[in-house]
Amino acid sequence: MFDRFFTAPERSSYFLFGPRGTGKSTWLQRKYPEALFIDLNDPEEERYYGAAPERLRDIVATEPQRRPVVIDEVQRAPQLLPVVHQLIERDKSLRFVLTGSSARKLRRTGVDLLAGRALLTTMHPFMAGELGASFQLERALTLGLVPLIVDAAEPAEALRTYAALYVREEVQAEGLVRNVGSFGRFLEAVSFSHAAVLNVANLARECQVERKTAMNYLEVLQDLLLGFTLTVFRRRARRKLTVHPKLYLVDPGVYQSLRPRGPLDRNTELAGPALEGLVAQHLRAFIAYTGSKDTLSFWRTRSGSEIDFVLYGESGLYALEVKNGSVIHPSDLSGLRAFARDYPEATPVLLYRGRRLKRGGILCLSCEDFLRALVPGRSIAEVLAAARQ
């Protein structure tokens, strides 16, 4: 068992969202050994509470010593939410923890029924700092850091079935799309857009579906927490910027498993987007676990200058460029220099596979050292200082 960086709210009820296999249930069982657990992954439990949601009131009343009340995969019986709301209103000391691996049904059928009575929190795949000495960069780029995969006896086999598990138990079972075959083609096609500016028209053409359908599939992908997008950093913009967001799959292993390969594909071509996605995954988890109001975005001008990540907020303004190489070429720093000209207050950083050094005033750090130093609670300045040691 690895200690997780996630910290639960101490007195409030809360939702805990996260992709399948990120260890939500395992963490909760360790955190709350005396809790009343309702596991809606169990078909019998799902039928029992789905048929009569008011039964939740009875079970909570008959077992007052078991607290908090944990409802696992609450999206499988969203009709429980009005009952949860009533119970919280009647007893302010009663705490609920509601987990979910899909926000789609909840968003459509009643997350706001709790009217802000429950906080929204997230659990992410492992961070390098959580794994400590067990973190291996090459393994993370190939198999990813989803705990379900990391802990499996046969990680490669578990990874191969991970996406299929989602399609079978979430997409197909919940009827989220009309044509499961088309969605399967979409998952393959979207893997080529990982760590790239999203072009929905091209994506729809590759999937052989209408643009509206491709947009719906993208919504499903994000609602299932399998992917996310970053918007363009536009504050005090001095140049014409792209309007399209950038897309990332939730984990490098998921990207590797979905990406079709042929004899012309080289491992180095896949490693670049995988490394960028790994950094994106860590930065999102870092912001979520720290509880800061910093925003994560990217920067790309219409002329082609680009920065992979822009971190902006209370901690300052940081521009991070990721390169999957151990040698720094002048072109690797051109985007950072362009950004620094527009934003002199920014701290530009190159993350690559080589040794730490400074090149033309730009800090160049080992990407692995940066990921290991990225510990929630630290400021980014402290992270960079730790990565330099």
Q: Tell me the per-residue pLDDT of 94-151, one tens digit each, with 9 for 90 and over.
A: 999 999 887 776 766 655 556 667 888 999 999 999 999 999 999 999 999 999 999 9
Least confident residue range of 166-170, 266-270, 298-302, 340-344 = 166-170
Nearest residue to 317 via CA among 356, 287, 343, 341:
343
CA–CA dist 190, 247 (Å, integer): 9
Least confident residue range of 143-152, 156-165, 248-257 = 156-165
**How does residue 223 score in pLDDT terms, banded at 50, 70 and 90?**
confident
Tally of CA atoms within 13 A in the half-sphere of 357 that contains its CB: 9
For residue 300, the model assigns a pLDDT of: 96
CA–CA dist 234, 331 (Å, integer): 23
Dump pLDDT digits (tens) for 59-87: 999 999 999 999 999 988 888 998 998 99
End-to-end CA distance of the chain: 28
- Residue 183 CB-density burial (10 A; 0-12 exposed, 13-18 middle, 19+ buried): buried
For residue 184, the model assigns a pLDDT of: 82
For residue 108, the model assigns a pLDDT of: 65
State the average pLDDT for the chain.
90
For residue 162, the model assigns a pLDDT of: 86
Q: Are 129 and 374 in contact (CB under 8 A)?
A: yes
Dump pLDDT digits (tens) for 369-383: 999 999 999 999 999
- Residues paired with 96 in a beta bridge: 69
- Residues paired with 38 in a beta bridge: 71
Nearest residue to 339 via CA among 349, 330, 329:
349
For residue 68, the model assigns a pLDDT of: 96
CA–CA dist 343, 322 (Å, integer): 19
Region of residue 177 (left: phi > 0; alpha: psi -120 to 50; beta: else): beta
User: Which of the two residues, 65 and 170, has the higher pLDDT score?
Assistant: 65
Residue 204 has pLDDT above 70, yes or no: yes
Distance of CA 188 to the CA centre of its chain: 19
pTM of the predicted protein model = 0.93
In total, the chain counts a number of residues equal to 389
For residue 161, the model assigns a pLDDT of: 86
* Strongest mean pLDDT among 10-14, 100-104, 203-207, 315-319: 315-319
CA–CA dist 305, 298 (Å, integer): 11
Q: Are 281 and 124 in contact (CB under 8 A)?
A: yes
What is 134-175 written as a DSSP string?
G--HHHHHHH---HHHHT-SSHHHHHHHHHHHHIIIIIITTT
Residue 273 has pLDDT above 70, yes or no: yes
- Residues paired with 347 in a beta bridge: 318
Nearest residue to 232 via CA among 244, 249, 219:
244
Residue 238 has pLDDT above 60, yes or no: yes
Tokens representing residue 331 in the block: 């072109």
Residue 317 has pLDDT above 80, yes or no: yes
Q: Which percentage of the chain shows pLDDT scores above 70?
A: 93
Please, what sign has the CA dihedral across residues 31, 3, 285, 176? negative
Q: What is the largest CA-CA distance in the chain?
A: 69
Tokens representing residue 214 in the block: 């491709």
CA–CA dist 323, 353 (Å, integer): 7
**3-state class (DSSP) for residue 14:** strand
**How does residue 309 score in pLDDT terms, banded at 50, 70 and 90?**
very high
3-state secondary structure 101-127: CCCHHHHHHCHHHHCCCEEEEECCCCC
Identify the structural domains of the chain with CATH numbers, from first to last: 13-122 (3.40.50.300), 128-272 (1.10.10.10), 280-388 (3.40.1350)
